[in-house]
Chain A
Amino acid sequence: MDAILLQILNGLDKGSAYALIALGLTLIFGTLGVVNFAHGALFMIGAFCAVTLQKLLNLSFETLDETQKDFLGNPLKVETPYVEAWFGPEVGATIIDWSVPLAILFAIPIMLLVGYVMERGLIKHFYKRPHADQILVTFGLAIVLQEIVKYFFGANPIQTPPPDALSGSVDLGVMVGFDPNAIIYPIWRLVYFGFAVGIIGAVFSFLQFTTFGMVVRAGMADRETVGLLGINIDRRFTIMFGIAAAVAGLAGVMYGPLNPPNYHMGMDFLVLSFVVVVVGGMGSLPGAVLAGFLLGILESFASTTWATTTIPGINQIIIYLVAIVVLLTRPRGLMGRKGVMEE
């Protein structure tokens, strides 16, 4: 029982990342009809926003310490972050400690801007082009973005630890009456899940309860008619692209403490997020979220010893197997609309 609960937690956690990325992807499909292969790169850029902020906060001046030696036997250079020099060591250290949550504030404007520039500068010209061209150009963009990050940050993963207060794990099992050590779960993973639920909720309520959101939904359903009503739907779709980029970026910022970011993390998620979107059904936001969590949970269960001894290799293929089964039984994924991306 505890093992099952544990894997459900893991699944929800994995699913959070899948759902957030897939949500942005499907928003872009739904509004602009663009196959965005650079969406994984946006997730990666988000994570590197946190890395950058961490580096900025750690910007230091050097002083020579004659008492210690570096690896070549020269006097050791001791680095003191400016932040600590300005705000005093304690406040400075706290600010550095909280760099990941702070990076959320830092990342939102950056991601909105990146999304806006991407849409206006590049994607805009590809609305009328075949999907194949969209794939080629966004894939090229993804490579370029990824190589730029690699040029500045290297290929090695970079640790972005959570704040001390939120690192470590809690014994959830004890709280609900299990034995100690039965269900131990890292705090940051719980934070991530909560954060994902919050973001998903915010996006849905934005689309559901604001006028802007209503127009966007109308535009998704019938772009032409909304245009005929004299509404500048393009502008709104551009903003939606920015929002989708920001959602992917924030998913990336918060993901850093779970697994240290590296330049190819976007590509690692790209294929998976497409599978999630399609299993959810093209153009369906709830579908994307549902499929994200579903695949996350199934993936977690497939990796248990019980599953891998029953069917060897099931943990390697579960996502794809599920995708095939879903698509063969439900032609348009779980909640897809008819006629979207079917030709």
Chain B
Amino acid sequence: MTNKSVTRRGVLKSGAVAGTGLALPTIFTASSAAAYTNEPTGSSVVLGFNVPQTGPYAEEGNDELLAQQLAVEHLNGEGDGGCLNTFTSKALKGNGILGKKVGFVTGDTQTKSDAARASAKSMIEKDGAIMINGGSSSGVAVAVQGLCQEAGVIFMAGLTHANDTTGKDKKANGFRHFFNAYMSGAALAPVLAAEMGKERRAYHLTADYNWGWTQEESIVASTEALGWETVNTVKTPLASTDFSSYIAPVLNSGADVLVLNHYGGNMVNSLTNAIQFGLLDKVANGKDFKIVVPLYSELMAAGAGENIKGVLGSMNWNWQLQDEGTKAFVKSFGEKYGKPPSNSAQTCYAQVLLYADAVERAGTFNPCGVVEALEDFEFDGLGNGPTLYRGADHQCFKDVLVVRGNENPTNEYDTLEIVEITPRAQVEYDPEHPMFAGGELGECNPGA
């Protein structure tokens, strides 16, 4: 793929990205002189973008990568600056981070905890990455978060929705910008009650692993608090590709709402199957039958096509929001890549800026300084209105969106419409809430 002459010239021009090498991989070094893991010593700093590039979530990972590249451009003062112009914290100047040019390395999580950790380790050990960003599964997020805690670098999870990421598996070096299952329930339930009434009987199909369970628990709790009844909760194997045998009994169960606690390909297939069985055309208990998909993403909506019409769900962020931060980001992303960003892309973008900003404010790349700067940090201008990074569990609090599959999309991107922007106060909870209790944040670890 390369020859020697390439190498020689490559060395000369390697500044752009491969400033990488300047930071020596002193990670885990017993006798290191550095104050913390991968302390950047040269004129550049390396961020690690760890996203699924193969496997079922590859498209989502790809979108995250695009957004992260955009964030790096904006940090380095290239492009139109995006959200740097709208962000309420003005520490970032567009001259990199602390005057150091920002470079990045990418890796493939394969949506497997093992592979994700291997990839993150290679970024830390080989490329000298100072923080790890991105990802698209709660299992992976928890696994990589644990690794970063041990290694002494900052981790900012990408798309991870399980309560555990900032619940029993929370770590001092990890932060989550994305919302979680509890917040989905808290935001969705009032809308569900308003649209469907308080006397509903719900049937849950739940992906049989940790995320599915926490989401089912959250939705059941919040809907039952409003008067709904839960008829049945059925666990479906993760490897299922066809859900007909789980959908078929729903109509006879006495339920009039189907809740699909599925994500990605599982959700696309289970929703498609439910539509095939004509559930939405039926009347049960004298009411129109309804389907709810608590966690939506744009790519799932695209995969499910026509089937999502009228189906309610929740989202972390959507490009159709009208605040300044969102508009700046959508414009920047749209002009560069020709499509609006997904909510996982926005999460990863915002996290990179927030990390950089925290470093600037702390005046150091030292993870402990960054943690201190991010804890209980309040800001606005990155989308979703005023936002808080809570210090007690490193969960981010901001408005949550309730969305519905658009009945009449005008183009391939507005497949979802925003039904309600649930204010932050309504989705907040106590850090010791039983669904989140059990873990310990621990001390921040600077490594080295």
Contact = CB atoms under 8 A, between A and B. Distances in A.
B28 interface: no
Given A188-B276, A262-B56, A305-B232, 4 more contacts: A76-B410, A150-B58, A159-B272, A185-B248
A305 B305 contact: no
Contacts of A315: 235-237
B276 A258 contact: yes
A260 B335 contact: no
A2 B57 CA distance: 38
B331 interface: yes
A68 B299 CA distance: 24
B437 interface: no
Contacts of B248: 6-7, 9-10, 184-185
A259 B242 contact: yes
Interface string B266-278: 0011001100111
A158 B413 CA distance: 15
B303 A259 contact: no
Contacts, number: 127
Given A68-B410, A71-B411, A159 B276 contact: no
Nearest to B340: A71
Contacts of A265: 241
A323 to B, nearest CB: 15
A13 B241 contact: no
A99 interface: no
A8 B334 CA distance: 49
A205 interface: no
A303 B206 CA distance: 13
Contacts of B58: 150, 154-155
Contacts of A70: 411
A303 B304 contact: no
A10 B234 contact: no
B145 interface: no
A260 B244 contact: no
Contacts of B239: 268, 316
Interface string A128-166: 000000000000000000000010001111110100000
B249 interface: yes
Interface string A1-44: 01100110111011000000000000000000000000000000
Contact of B244 (A10, A150, A161, A181): A10
B319 interface: yes
Interface string B301-342: 011111100000000000110000000001100110000100
B241 A259 contact: yes
B252 A3 contact: yes
Contact of A304 (B245, B272, B302, B413): B245
Interface string A171-194: 000000000011011101100000
A334 B244 CA distance: 27
Interface in A290-338: 299-300, 303-305, 308, 315-316
B195 interface: no
Contact of A159 (B282, B303, B330): B303
A9 B249 CA distance: 12
A301 to B, nearest CB: 8
Contacts of A159: 272, 303-307
B55 A168 contact: no
A3 B249 contact: yes
13 contacts: A3-B249, A71-B319, A71-B411, A72-B330, A72-B334, A155-B55, A155-B58, A159-B307, A182-B252, A184-B282, A265-B241, A303-B246, A315-B236
B233 to A, nearest CB: 9
B423 interface: no
A265 B331 CA distance: 35
A258 B242 contact: yes
Which of B242, B282, B284 is the most central at the interface, judged by chain A CB atoms within 10 Å of its CB?
B242
B443 interface: no
A6 B303 contact: no
Nearest to A181: B251
Contacts of B331: 72
B244 A13 contact: yes
A186 B282 CA distance: 13
A75 to B, nearest CB: 12
A167 interface: yes
